[in-house]
């Protein structure tokens, strides 16, 4: 029972991470292209300045929960995906350093260099997460001792790259819509134009990913042909984004990209359950919430701690978003 509870909690943490860090990464990827001058780029960074580090807490918490609740899952995942996760860690560190150091020196070359660090630090994580999630759904070579016996290049395929690029485009769309809600004037209009431009490409590529998922994985067939309501709703939410954009309903369009991210993540975890990593060698070697979990005492203590502390963390983050809810303009004091 507690294994299921912690699987759901980890899924919720990843839902929160992808939703919040999704627009965060999208804004970072747009930084070198959307601002017409340095002041515009400072405005763009300040739209996510109060939030980006708090958003990453969801990933850290998810990793910590995975380590404590499912140590075998954590060990196999981090050893098998070692290079991908190492690159992701470097990207996140570089991105965080760039946010803090970019505006400390006014020289154009200095700031341009950090702009590109922010760009690549925002591009690599969603790309690698897409590749990782596709491999989790498709299955990777895991032996009877729960060891990953493949290489880094075994993780790269048409399917996984499609997933990575799809996630990049979805986060770009999510980030551009976030900017329409947080900026004013030309910057807001430019962000809306970007969203209009990439919206159709995002829809097409995600549809291709769904088709490939049907062919390459068992996520739509394991429980029968009916995929359930969740992925269908995710697709409808994505389709509706263009409608809301054409009518300048930016808030609704942002909610729809958020819903697409949330429902897509729920679909992935639902398709995996009760497995956490699928073995492509033999399905009997797959890791599940039962053979990968910690003992009952550990899970019980973790549950008590989580129920005690998580409400305070959530309350703080909601308060943070409320305090910094106003739009950012060129006339404002810019911290970053």
When divided into structural domains, the chain yields a total of 1
Which residues on neighbouring strands pair with residue 288, listed in sequence order?
275
**Closest of 71, 76, 38, 41 to residue 277, by C-alpha:** 76
CB atoms within 10 A of CB 324: 15
Q: What pLDDT is recorded for position 226?
A: 59
Q: Is the Cβ–Cβ distance between 146 and 76 less than 8 Å?
A: yes
Buried b (16+ CB within 10 A) or exposed e, 279-315: beeeeebbbbbeebbbeeeebeebeeebeeeeeeeee
Q: What pLDDT is recorded for position 136?
A: 92
Distance from C-alpha of 100 to C-alpha of 34, rounded to nearest angstrom? 20
Q: Is the Cβ–Cβ distance between 205 and 165 less than 8 Å?
A: yes
Apex CA 259: angle with CA 328 and CA 302, to 5°? 95
DSSP category for residue 252: H
Q: What is the mean pLDDT of each run of 10 residues along the chain (336 residues)?
A: 92 94 94 90 94 90 92 92 92 94 91 95 95 93 91 91 96 96 93 92 92 88 68 91 91 96 92 91 92 92 90 91 92 84
Q: What pLDDT is recorded for position 169?
A: 96
Q: Is the Cβ–Cβ distance between 111 and 102 less than 8 Å?
A: yes
Is 329 a member of any domain?
A: no
- Per DSSP, the three-state class of 146 is coil
Q: What is the pLDDT of residues 222-262, one digit of tens each?
A: 765 555 788 889 999 999 999 999 998 999 999 999 999 99
DSSP category for residue 148: B
Domain hosting 316: range is 1-324
Q: Is the Cβ–Cβ distance between 191 and 184 less than 8 Å?
A: no
Is 37 a member of any domain?
A: yes
Q: What is the pLDDT of residues 55-71, one digit of tens each?
A: 888 999 999 999 999 99
Is 332 a member of any domain?
A: no
Is 238 a member of any domain?
A: yes
Is 199 a member of any domain?
A: yes
Got the DSSP string for 30-96? HHHHH-SSHHHHHHHHHHHTTTHHHHHHHHHHHHHHHHHH-HHHHHHHHHHTHHHHHHHHHHHHHHH
Is 197 a member of any domain?
A: yes
Is 335 a member of any domain?
A: no
């Amino acid at each position: 029972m507690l294994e299921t509870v912690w699987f759901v909690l980890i899924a919720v943490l990843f839902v929160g991470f992808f939703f919040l860090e999704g627009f965060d990464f999208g804004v970072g990827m747009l930084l070198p292209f959307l601002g017409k001058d340095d002041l515009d780029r400072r405005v763009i960074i300040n739209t996510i300045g109060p939030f980006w580090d708090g958003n990453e807490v969801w990933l850290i918490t998810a990793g910590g929960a995975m380590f404590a609740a499912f140590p075998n899952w954590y060990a196999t995942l981090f050893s098998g995906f070692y290079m991908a996760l190492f690159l992701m860690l470097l990207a996140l560190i570089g991105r965080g350093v760039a946010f803090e150091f970019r505006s400390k020196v006014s020289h154009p070359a200095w700031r341009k260099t950090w702009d590109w660090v922010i760009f690549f630090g925002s591009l690599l994580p969603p790309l690698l997460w897409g590749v990782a999630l596709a491999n989790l759904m498709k299955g990777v070579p895991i032996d009877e001792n729960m060891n990953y016996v493949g290489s880094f290049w075994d993780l790269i395929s048409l399917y996984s790259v499609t997933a990575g690029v799809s996630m990049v485009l979805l986060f770009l769309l999510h980030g551009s819509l976030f900017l329409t809600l947080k900026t004013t004037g030309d910057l807001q209009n430019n962000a809306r134009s970007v969203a209009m431009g990439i919206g159709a490409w995002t829809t097409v590529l995600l549809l291709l990913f769904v088709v490939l998922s049907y062919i390459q994985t068992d996520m739509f067939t394991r429980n029968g042909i009916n995929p359930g309501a969740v992925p269908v709703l995710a697709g409808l939410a994505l389709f509706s984004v263009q409608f809301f954009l054409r009518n300048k309903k930016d808030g609704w369009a942002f909610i729809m990209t958020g819903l697409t991210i949330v429902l897509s993540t729920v679909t992935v975890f639902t398709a995996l359950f009760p497995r956490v990593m699928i073995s492509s060698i033999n399905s009997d070697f797959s890791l599940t919430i039962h053979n990968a979990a910690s003992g009952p005492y550990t899970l019980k203590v973790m549950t008590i701690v989580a129920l005690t502390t998580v409400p305070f963390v959530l309350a703080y983050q909601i308060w943070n978003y409320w305090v910094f809810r106003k739009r950012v303009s060129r006339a404002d004091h810019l911290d970053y």
